[in-house]
Amino acid sequence: MLKTDTQIDQTHIWHPYESVLHPYKHPLVKSAKGVYLELEEGKMVIDGMSSWWSVIHGYNHPRLNEALRNQMEKMSHVMFGGLTHESAIELTKKLLTLLDDSFEYVFFADSGSVSVEVALKMALQYQVERGKKEKSKFLSFERGYHGDTFGAMSVCDPVTGMHSLFSDVLHKNFFAPAPKSEFTSNDATKDLEAVEAILQEHANEIAAIIIEPVVQGAGGMRFYSPVFLQGLRELANRYDTLLIFDEIATGFGRTGRMFAYEHAGVVPDIITLGKAITGGYMTLGATVTNQKVAQMIEQNGNVLMHGPTFMANPLACSVANASLELLMQNPPFAKIEKIQNQLKTELAKCEALPNVKEVRTLGAIGVVELTHRVDMKTATQSFLENGVWVRPFMNLIYIMPPFIIEEEELRALTDAIYKTAKLLQKSLK
């Protein structure tokens, strides 16, 4: 007997972070437009996740669709080894225009996680070429998350993160406590003292410091003071290490600035980009660095040893160009400020619920942290019944909606979060 699509999905497809042997039924998405997902039975739900933080302009955007069609008629892909193309050149120009002037060199990867791998390799090769092979480890942070590939996993939180199963085979690095200074604080002294203590003892082993600026994402949706980044920049200089900012989740406006490092007014040596770079249309990442790093890597006639097959894919670069044009022509920051203010006001009522530990907002990010782990089955059903798509994790209910979301649509999301958090409280009894 032929299996239905639902049966194929449940019996043969392995979804992320889920059991393949004991699956549950997933809502089937037929189409998407604006902030709405159309499900199989015709139900329309508002997407509060921007498809894992990437669809900043909404779904089925005419400008982005047009960019893909135009590029497809020229070529969908061409190898980047030994060749180049206009879409990659134009995207490089746009990225260097948006980023700090100290950035000069762009390496295109095929995902955010791979862009982190490239950043780590840049830092290691930089240290080898300057005669410091012993600087072969990284200083990362508890509650940090940088991706699911092996190098990226090695700089994720080794205890509370998702990758403790692989701890015995991962490259061993150093981990400082997660920064605790609040976003509005002008004092990160204690946080920085903990970092410096590690550097004082192990700086001769550390190639680079890597951190998600201002927002620790999958490690707990935690916000911390930009002052901490200023101190990290000083420590990196003082202890002769590179500084890497992972802006895969925070880049392109999500925190209320084009890049999160702008909150601190400091610039890293290497930055990683992904997710929203293409408006959520295609997978693409970029690792961008400065003259100091590039010159050192190549000073002995060597080159950076990395080359993905789909590096600088023309389709991905073309839609990224269209996405960045939208950001540059119509800066979204006034809209993001409105989203933040509405999230702050409307999520505040969740604080009265006994099972809510904290509510926090920054830019187009809203987080309700519970005192207990979310019952995913109950939460998912509740959100769908309330006409929204929200995907909690651990003890967090959070949203990162598309920037185009309207006030009424955002209110539907915040109302659904309150109702679901309240329902989850009842289920604890």
CA–CA separation, 267 vs 288, rounded Å?
A: 12
Residue-level pLDDT at 166: 77
- For the record, the structure tokens of 130 come out as 């300057």
Task: Name the phi and psi angles at 85, rounded to 5.
Answer: -155, 165
Q: How many CB atoms lie within 10 A of CB 251?
A: 27
- For the record, the structure tokens of 183 come out as 């976003």
Sign of the C-alpha dihedral computed for residues 310, 314, 315 and 318 taken in this order = positive
246 is catalytic: yes
191 is catalytic: no
Tens-digit pLDDT profile for residues 19-40: 889 888 899 999 999 999 999 9
The C-alpha angle 244, 249, 251, rounded to 5 degrees, equals 75
Q: Strand, helix or coil at 231? A: helix
Q: What percent of the chain has pLDDT over 90?
A: 87
Kindly name the residue from 5, 17, 377, 426 that is annotated as catalytic.
17
Kindly name the residue from 94, 135, 137, 275 that is annotated as catalytic.
275
Tens-digit pLDDT profile for residues 156-201: 888 776 666 777 778 899 999 999 999 999 999 999 999 999 999 9
CA–CA separation, 215 vs 221, rounded Å?
A: 6
Residue-level pLDDT at 2: 65
Q: Strand, helix or coil at 400? A: coil
Residue-level pLDDT at 427: 75
> What angle do helix axes 333-347 and 407-428 make, rounded to 10 degrees?
30
The C-alpha angle 165, 167, 171, rounded to 5 degrees, equals 145
Confidence (pTM): 0.96
- Show the beta-strand stretches assigned E in 168-236: 174-176, 206-211, 215-216, 222-223
Cα–Cα distances (Å) from 412 to 343, 389, 406, in that order, read 11, 11, 10
145 is catalytic: yes
In order, the DSSP letters of 288-349 are EEEHHHHHHHTTTS-------TTTT-HHHHHHHHHHHHHHHHS--HHHHHHHHHHHHHHHGG
Cα–Cα distances (Å) from 20 to 14, 25, 217, 393, 427, in that order, read 5, 11, 26, 18, 26
- Is residue 137 within 8 A of residue 300, CB to CB? The reply is no
Tens-digit pLDDT profile for residues 102-118: 999 999 999 999 999 99
- Is residue 402 within 8 A of residue 336, CB to CB? The reply is no
Residue-level pLDDT at 125: 96
Residue-level pLDDT at 165: 73
Kindly name the residue from 47, 191, 246, 269 that is annotated as catalytic.
246
Tens-digit pLDDT profile for residues 245-280: 999 999 999 999 999 999 999 999 999 999 999 999
Picking from 177, 239, 238, the residue whose alpha carbon sits closest to that of residue 207 is: 239
Kindly name the residue from 59, 105, 126, 145 that is annotated as catalytic.
145
180 is catalytic: no
Q: Between 71 and 170, where is the model more confident? A: 71
Amino acid found at 316: A
Give me the chain's average pLDDT, please.
Answer: 95
Q: Which of 151-160, 249-258, 304-313 has the lowest mean pLDDT?
A: 151-160
Question: What is the DSSP-derived secondary structure letter of residue 276?
Answer: G
Tens-digit pLDDT profile for residues 332-386: 999 999 999 999 999 999 999 999 999 999 999 999 999 999 999 999 999 999 9
Residue-level pLDDT at 164: 67
Residue-level pLDDT at 426: 79
The C-alpha angle 104, 107, 112, rounded to 5 degrees, equals 120
CA–CA separation, 53 vs 43, rounded Å?
A: 22
Residue-level pLDDT at 1: 58
Rg (CA), the chain: 22
CA–CA separation, 129 vs 428, rounded Å?
A: 57
Beta strand 356-362 pairing with 365-370: antiparallel
- Local confidence band at 291 (pLDDT 50, 70, 90 cut-offs): very high
| Domains (range + CATH), the chain | 5-56+332-428 (3.90.1150.10), 64-329 (3.40.640.10)
Q: Which uninterrupted H or E stretch holds 47?
A: strand 44-47
Q: How many CB atoms lie within 10 A of CB 114?
A: 26
Q: Which uninterrupted H or E stretch holds 51?
A: helix 50-53
In residues, how long is the chain? 429
